[in-house]
Structure 1
Amino acid sequence: MSASDGEQESPPGAVTAPRGYELVLPPGWARIPLREGTKEALERILFSHMEQVPEGIPRDDAMRFRLDMRRQLERQARAARRNGGLDLYLPVLPRGGIFLMASFIVAELPIGQAHVIPQQAVIAELANEGVPDGTAKQVDVAGAPALRRAYGSPLTEEKLSSASEAVQQDALPTRRVDYVIPVPDDPGRWISINFSTPGDGDIDSEFTGVLVELFDAVVGTFKWSYE
């Protein structure tokens, strides 16, 4: 399943599971497929979408900036793919002269694959478990029940000591929002949409909250694709 999968035509009246999904991205964001076409998407982003560079970077350093970004994007893509990722989404154009530090991943989840469990029961159980220092609640996504979890991931000494200068962003405290969504008419299949941002360095700031609202608005456009 991906954002652009297709399927053969089914008989009239047949119940079929979706083959993919669709969502509307904010201006300046791009999708990086993780199962195939990753290299081509990175090339397109780095040499087409990223013709702009943040303020303060000399023109002579633009290529070095793009290469550094490529290494970071490749690292993010590999990590997301290892965790069942289908697609990685992130801002690729600066806003107000800066690049937003935010991303979200659409991934498959191994929930109920060994034993088919009613989807509503899974959502209720996950919501009842709660989230330490966060919230978990049932919401509607694409007209059906889903789960939304919101929480903060604080900076720890372990993260700080293990993060190199090149990946220091991973060591920052982050605001995280996860959606857990069952695939209709396909028991045992679930996807998650996982958002993460350090915001402006304060995960409880108004700016960080605006980024979370932007992500929630994107999830509000989510719908299943059958073609």
Structure 2
Amino acid sequence: MSTADLVPPPRRYELVLPPGWVRIPLREGMNEALEKVLFSHMAEVPEGIPRDDAMRFRLEMRRQLEKQARAARRNGGLDLYLPVLPRGGIFLMASFIVAELPIGQGHAVPPQAVLAQLAEENVPGGTATTIDVAGATALRRAYCSALGEEELPTRRVDYVIPVADDPGRWISINFSTPGDGDIDSEFTDVLVELFDAVVGTFKWSYE
């Protein structure tokens, strides 16, 4: 096979987002994206917040979003996705992060070995299954987490996906939600199903 026959790696990925969700890039343009969320997407505020407190609410949301975005970037995050428009007068508490994974750096590890190792990692009460994402075998892990006494329990779903035509490179898509406060409720299940549907639209772009 000649060099001309080799398929170049994808330049980026694409996802179809639900209405009201936005992407915040974490490498470049993060501050601009946060400002856009604050002043363009958050024209509405939840029911029960007085009009005079609307700007204070938006500024507090901006602070929380920036804190979340910077933490995600420190952990290798590429993009942060979250809902910014209220549904039925409330804001959904959910988000997911697309990140690079430090797997096989310096040498390519067979994908099957990587997936097998990750599937064997102990996640109490969790499940790990292989699934097709963008034409490749990926890993889906689902579990619950409570990180501290003051934090709400959360439902978490992680996808680990090999980068097409680029052996040794992987990304993860990590979803987290406390749902409606009951991580076993039907409402929380719907949010998880929504995330799975979003991942189902994942594809690589070579443009």
Q: Provide the TM-score with structure 2 as the length reference.
A: 0.95
Q: 2:36 aligns with which of 26, 30, 44?
A: 44
Look up the match of 2:200.
220
Look up the match of 1:190.
170
Q: 1:69 aligns with which of 61, 77, 81?
A: 61
Q: 1:187 to 1:53 in 2, by over 3 A?
A: same
Percentage of matched positions with identical amino acids: 82
Question: Which residue identity lines up with residue 61 of structure 1 in the other structure?
Answer: D
Task: Give the unaligned 5+ runs of structure 1.
Answer: 1-10, 161-170
Query: Counterparts of 1:12 and 1:110 in 2: how far apart (Å)?
Result: 29
Q: 1:155 to 1:116 in 2, by over 3 A?
A: closer
Query: Counterparts of 1:95 and 1:201 in 2: how far apart (Å)?
Result: 16
Alpha-carbon offset, residue 130 of structure 1: 4.8
Alpha-carbon offset, residue 155 of structure 1: 5.3
Q: 1:174 aligns with which of 150, 154, 166?
A: 154
Q: 2:79 aligns with which of 65, 73, 87?
A: 87
Query: Counterparts of 1:107 and 1:156 in 2: how far apart (Å)?
Result: 24
Structure 1 segment 56-205 matched on structure 2, within 5 A: 56-154=48-146, 156-157=148-149, 160=150, 171-205=151-185
Judge conservation of contact 1:124–1:138 (CA < 8 Å) in 2: no
Structure 1 segment 14-33 matched on structure 2, within 5 A: 14-33=6-25
Question: Which residue identity lines up with residue 107 of structure 2 in the other structure?
Answer: H
Moved over 2 A (4+): 11-14, 128-131, 154-157
Alpha-carbon offset, residue 18 of structure 1: 0.8
1:54-79 deviations in whole A, cap 9, x for unaligned? 00111111100100000000000000
Question: Which residue identity lines up with residue 85 of structure 2 in the other structure?
Answer: L
1:53-109 deviations in whole A, cap 9, x for unaligned? 100111111100100000000000000000000000000000000000000000000
Q: What number of residue pairs does the alignment pair up?
A: 205
Q: 1:44 to 1:156 in 2, by over 3 A?
A: closer
Q: 2:186 aligns with which of 206, 209, 219?
A: 206
Alpha-carbon offset, residue 12 of structure 1: 6.3
Query: Counterparts of 1:131 and 1:179 in 2: how far apart (Å)?
Result: 14
Question: Which residue identity lines up with residue 223 of structure 1 in the other structure?
Answer: K
Judge conservation of contact 1:86–1:105 (CA < 8 Å) in 2: yes
SS at match of 2:45: coil
Query: Counterparts of 2:135 and 2:19 in 1: how far apart (Å)?
Result: 25
Query: Counterparts of 2:172 and 2:70 in 1: how far apart (Å)?
Result: 17
Judge conservation of contact 1:130–1:136 (CA < 8 Å) in 2: no
Query: Counterparts of 1:127 and 1:73 in 2: how far apart (Å)?
Result: 31
SS at match of 1:122: helix
Q: Provide the TM-score with structure 1 as the length reference.
A: 0.87
Question: Which residue identity lines up with residue 28 of structure 1 in the other structure?
Answer: G
SS at match of 2:190: helix
